[in-house]
Amino acid sequence: MPSVVVLDYGSGNLRSAQRALEHAGATVEVTADPDAVMAADGLVVPGVGAFAACMEGLRAVDAPKLVGRRLAGARPVLGICVGMQVLFETGVEHGIETPGLAEWPGVVERLHADVLPHMGWNTVAAPEGSRMFDGIRDEYFYFVHSYGVLDWLLPPSDRMTAPGVTWTTYGAPFVSAVENGPLWATQFHPEKSGDAGAQLLRNWLGTLG
């Protein structure tokens, strides 16, 4: 069974992520211990609430360094919800800009929709050949968010392969998932997305080795 650490930095929803990953076939530890984070086959960065608050918690446990070290060694990382958003350069909430982990260029901003938050089930438009959505391309996933990346094209880099970008429309299109070498992320909550979410987690676990 692959070993996974769910990063404990003060964010909520840790135990539901732990249970979903265990159900998908992983041994899971919820911790911020640097040795455990680096030793695990996979690292999950969850996140709920405000971008700035999540970044404060991540910095407190030295997550920018830990995530960067894992990715430099091609060690898999999965970001979920705000845990996806913080992988971008900047988050803008209520006119305040907060630096993110800057693994990807791009800005997280308020969704262009009449009703917020975007809460409930929605489909995704995954790219051809997506490993993340293998077997679940036509399924629905559960979203709870008011912010996202609305306009983004990541150029290829020396460190990671060109990304597979998945889009969802709510008012306007936004990035709902990214596959970028060892770094995967979803704006939706796979741990709350029933059988489809469980299969996505199994697809991710299948990349750990």
Per-residue pLDDT, 13: 78
Residue 20 has pLDDT above 80, yes or no: yes
What φ, ψ does residue 152 adopt, rounded to 5°? -155, 135
Per residue in 62-71, pLDDT (tens digit) is: 999 999 999 9
Whether 54 is catalytic is: no
Active-site residue, selected from the candidate residues 81, 109, 118, 145: 81
Active-site residue among 54, 118, 145, 189?
189
Give every CB contact of residue 103 below 8 A, 6+ residues apart in sequence. Answer: 67, 68, 71, 87, 88, 183
Do 97 and 91 form a contact (C-beta atoms < 8 A)?
Answer: yes
Is 189 tagged catalytic?
yes
pLDDT single digits (tens) 111-155 = 999 999 999 999 999 999 999 999 999 999 999 999 999 987 665
**What is the per-residue pLDDT for 162?**
61
Q: How many domains does the chain have?
A: 1
Q: What is the pLDDT of residue 160?
A: 47
Residue 13 belongs to domain spanning: 3-205
- Is there a contact between 182 and 76 (Cβ–Cβ < 8 Å)? yes
CATH number at residue 113: 3.40.50.880
- Average pLDDT value for residue range 49-54: 96
Average pLDDT value over all residues in the chain: 94
Given a contact cutoff of 8 angstroms between Cβ atoms, the answer to whether 80 and 17 are in contact is yes
Residue 175: predicted pLDDT: 96
Catalytic residue among 103, 109, 179, 191: 191
